[in-house]
């Protein structure tokens, strides 16, 4: 395991070492979350690197990445722990024939051996190496689940009624993300440091392309970024995220493009926009205009 970074600059460098380019504000939030042992709550536009932060922290700090993908109906059994009823029953059957085993079984039936560990418990399990815990897309889980998270986020512990309280020996680094399909409760927010992850400006997006899609010619990258930045100002249903910029630039490069051209843009628009209405809005004249502007500004 690598030591936690000592400064914002060190944190920025740690992220950069994993090809993640954070602006100063994001690097500061990440640094403070780690230094103060507080969960980091990231909201923002889709495809802007929220989930990726947890992955690169785990890789850069040489920690386990424990990921909990949230969904409607997520409950304690899937998120934290579950008693292994099948094994408990089996043990009971076996003990039925043996009096001594019956005695020891009664004590052991609700011991760690019979507990199935799910992501949240795994992240704070003192028997396991330190972790980065990613609670991804919390807005998709329902509110009762958030209530359960409170104990974990406040004290980095989980109480299993039959067993007792399990507490992290080394606090996990916790990253929570949300895409704001609903508002996450204030009680969760209060326990976290909050950061809004927006779209990068053009220079940063070019730099991200350079590290994430190094095979794309620089000139094409610059034009792609100009084009995407203009598209984000348009009134469309689903704006392209950084992930789409990377995809689109890689597609164009795979077609051996060295510069944007209206034909190639039109043919590859499905890498950038994911709704037919948005594609139709751009087809024809807007593509020509945006392409010309993207080329002249690069
Ligand atoms: N600042 C950045 N530096 C480097 N790569 C980035 C950055 N931001 C985004 N990316 C790239 O964009 C991809 C998508 O990021 P990620 O999946 O983390 O987005 P997200 O915000 O979690 O999106 P969603 O809301 O759709 O889940 C990453 O795999 C990474 O390649
Ligand atoms: Mg994500």
Q: pLDDT tens across 241-264, in order?
A: 999 999 999 999 999 999 999 999
Distance from residue 209's CA to the centre of ligand 1 (Å)? 12
Lowest mean pLDDT among 89-103, 131-145, 200-214: 89-103
Residue 143: the pLDDT is: 87
Residue 178: the pLDDT is: 96
The pLDDT tens digits for 46-56 are: 999 999 999 99
Tokens linked to 132: 């980065």
Residue 76, ligand 1, Cβ within 6 A:
no
pLDDT tier, 96 (very low <50, low <70, confident <90, very high otherwise): confident
CA distance 14 to 51: 16
Q: Residue whose CA is closest, atom 25 of ligand 1? A: 46
Distance from residue 123's CA to the centre of ligand 1 (Å)? 23
The pLDDT tens digits for 203-213 are: 999 999 999 99
Distance from residue 177's CA to the centre of ligand 2 (Å)? 7
CA distance 231 to 273: 10
Report the candidate in 158, 200, 170 with the shortest Cα–Cα distance to residue 68.
158
The pLDDT tens digits for 60-74 are: 999 999 999 999 999
Which numbered ligand comes closest to the C-alpha of 181?
1
CA distance 271 to 267: 9
Residue 20, ligand 1, Cβ within 6 A:
yes
Q: Is 90 exceeded by the pLDDT of residue 105?
A: no
For the residues 107-111, what does the mean pLDDT come to? 83
Distance from residue 26's CA to the centre of ligand 1 (Å)? 13
Q: At the topology level of CATH, where does 8-75+119-197 sit?
A: Rossmann fold (3.40.50)
Q: Is 145 exposed, middle or buried (0-12, 13-18, 19+ CB in 10 A)?
A: buried
Average pLDDT, the chain: 94
Element (H, E) at 240: none
Residue 67, ligand 1, Cβ within 6 A:
no
> What are the distances in angstroms from CA 201 to CA 40, 52, 58, 207, 221?
23, 18, 26, 10, 14
Which atom number of ligand 1 is nearest to the Cα of residue 204? Answer: 1
Q: Which residues contact 90 (CB under 8 A, 6 or more apart)?
A: none
Residue 240, ligand 1, Cβ within 6 A:
no
For the residues 221-246, what does the mean pLDDT come to? 97
């Amino acid at each position: 395991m690598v030591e936690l970074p000592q400064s914002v600059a060190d944190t920025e460098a740690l992220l950069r070492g994993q090809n993640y380019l954070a602006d100063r504000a994001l690097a500061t939030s990440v640094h403070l979350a780690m230094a103060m042992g507080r969960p980091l709550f990231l909201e923002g536009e889709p495809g802007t690197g929220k989930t990726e932060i947890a992955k690169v922290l785990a890789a850069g700090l040489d920690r386990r990445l424990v990921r909990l993908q949230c969904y409607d109906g997520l409950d304690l059994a899937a998120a934290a722990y579950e008693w292994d009823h099948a094994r408990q029953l089996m043990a009971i059957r076996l003990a039925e024939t043996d009096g001594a085993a019956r005695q020891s079984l009664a004590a052991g039936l609700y011991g760690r051996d019979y507990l199935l560990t799910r992501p949240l418990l795994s992240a704070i399990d003192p028997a396991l190496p330190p972790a980065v815990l990613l609670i991804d897309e919390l807005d998709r889980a329902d509110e009762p689940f958030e209530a359960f998270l409170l104990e974990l986020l406040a004290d980095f512990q989980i109480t299993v009624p039959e067993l007792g309280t399990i507490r992290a020996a080394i606090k996990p680094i916790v990253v929570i993300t949300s895409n704001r399909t609903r508002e996450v409760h204030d009680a969760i927010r209060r326990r976290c440091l909050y950061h809004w992850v927006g779209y990068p400006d053009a220079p940063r997006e070019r730099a991200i392309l350079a590290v994430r899609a190094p095979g794309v010619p620089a000139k094409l990258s610059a034009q792609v970024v100009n084009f995407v930045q203009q598209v984000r100002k348009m009134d469309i249903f689903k704006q392209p995220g950084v992930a789409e910029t990377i995809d689109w630039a890689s597609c164009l490069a795979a077609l051996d493009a060295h510069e944007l051209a209206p034909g190639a843009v039109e043919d590859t628009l499905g890498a950038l926009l994911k709704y037919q209405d948005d594609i139709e809005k751009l087809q024809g004249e807007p593509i020509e205009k945006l392409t010309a502007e993207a080329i002249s500004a690069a």
